[in-house]
Amino acid sequence: MKIANLKVEIFKPSIDVRYDQEKIVSHDTNAILSTPVDNSQTILLLAQDVDVVGIDEAQFFDDQISNVCEQLAQRGIRVIVAGLDMDYQGNPFGQMPNLLAKADYITKLHAICQVCGNIANISYRKINEGGQVLLGEKDVYEPRCRICAQL
């Protein structure tokens, strides 16, 4: 696909099928076509002749994702990565700490706490099941601040 006259390829982990098999869909139903991949090395193989690579839900990728991003950047490709830096318990999530450490630029976005209205930095899990990775939507998670996440 082309965006602003740049050839763009967008990837997401194949396990993320919450809204769509191939599209990245926001909670407010905005969508963009992506390529689901089983592992980060596949991104290197598929990201040929592109100007920009987008990677969504990076916390779900394997331990090579930061190296893959570095290799893409060394090729002169702009790499844009999105993911949760913390899990539902407030712990570093997957490979995000490694990606954050190597990033040239970081924009940290926050939601609004559903309890008090302050800035939310925790994806509070409303159900008591699963390990660190439990795919869910609004029925399973809600944004909360540190204080309200303890309630």
The catalytic residues are 57
Chain CA centroid to CA 48, Å = 22
If phi > 0 it is left, if psi is from -120 to 50 it is alpha, else beta; for residue 115 that is alpha
Q: Count H helices, E strands: the chain?
A: 4, 11
Determine the Cα–Cα distance for residues 39 and 64; give it in Å rounded to an integer: 8
For residue 67, the one-letter residue type is: N
